[in-house]
Chain A
Amino acid sequence: TQLLEQSPQFLSIQEGENLTVYCNSSSVFSSLQWYRQEPGEGPVLLVTVVTGGEVKKLKRLTFQFGDARKDSSLHITAAQPGDTGLYLCAGPSSNTGKLIFGQGTTLQVKP
């Protein structure tokens, strides 16, 4: 069974700090996605990474796909209160093609 493990599960930081969230697996994934979910809302796709070693930037967010395609990271520079939310990584199961989600990282950015 393919699993995605995210760390840390909870993160509370001050505005302006940097942070990194990790998404790890013992299995190879053909691609990984990162979603952000705000309270009372559904997840919203931030990025998809498909090539080992790929780096994508979305304003202050930097996403990296591991060379072996078993892990990914999300780095936020100078976090803002608007970055507060639940961050989920997800990847397609090699058996079914359906998305498998990590358990999520809850980020709180205090002003």
Chain B
Amino acid sequence: NAGVTQTPKFRILKIGQSMTLQCTQDMNHNYMYWYRQDPGMGLKLIYYSVGAGITDKGEVPNGYNVSRSTTEDFPLRLELAAPSQTSVYFCASSLSLALADTQYFGPGTRLTVL
């Protein structure tokens, strides 16, 4: 049981390039999330999904896209990378949206846009 896995761990992009951050969970969780973490700013929700085929915007969705074709996978797409997207990205999953439910986080992807 690997939990939540993310690839790649590190990536450097040039302005205007595109890339997809991969996220996979093996806990059969319906809910999945993408966050970004900037120094001194905590975690901000980018997108989330409540099940295969259903996604919705979070607090900071601009410049990103997601898809959820299976329960296990929730990739995050950056179409035209900008320096403002330099951050650490975390994928998470949970069994439900219950207020006291646990979110399980992946190890993160550190992205630098130059």
Contact = CB atoms under 8 A, between A and B. Distances in A.
Contact of A101 (B4, B43, B108): B43
B17 interface: no
B40 A97 contact: no
Given A40-B107, A41-B108, A98-B48, A48 B100 contact: yes
Contact of B108 (A9, A30, A40): A40
A50 B4 contact: no
Interface residues of B, number: 22
Interface of B: 4, 33, 40-45, 48, 58-59, 90, 92, 97, 99-100, 102-103, 105-108
Given A9-B40, A31-B100, A88-B43, A44 B105 contact: yes
- A interface, by DSSP: helix, strand, loop or mixed? loop
A41 B107 contact: yes
B99 A92 contact: yes
Interface residues of A, number: 23
A24 interface: no
15 contacts: A9-B40, A33-B100, A40-B108, A41-B107, A42-B92, A42-B105, A42-B108, A45-B102, A50-B100, A88-B43, A90-B43, A98-B45, A98-B48, A101-B42, A104-B40
Given A30-B99, A92-B99, A97-B97, A43 B105 contact: yes
Interface string A72-101: 000000000000000010101000011101
A25 interface: no
A6 to B, nearest CB: 8
A99 to B, nearest CB: 7
A27 interface: no
A44 B102 CA distance: 9
B44 to A, nearest CB: 8
Given A40-B108, A42-B92, A99 B41 contact: no
Determine which residue in A99, A101, A104 has the highest number of CB atoms from chain B within 10 A of its CB, and name it. Answer: A99
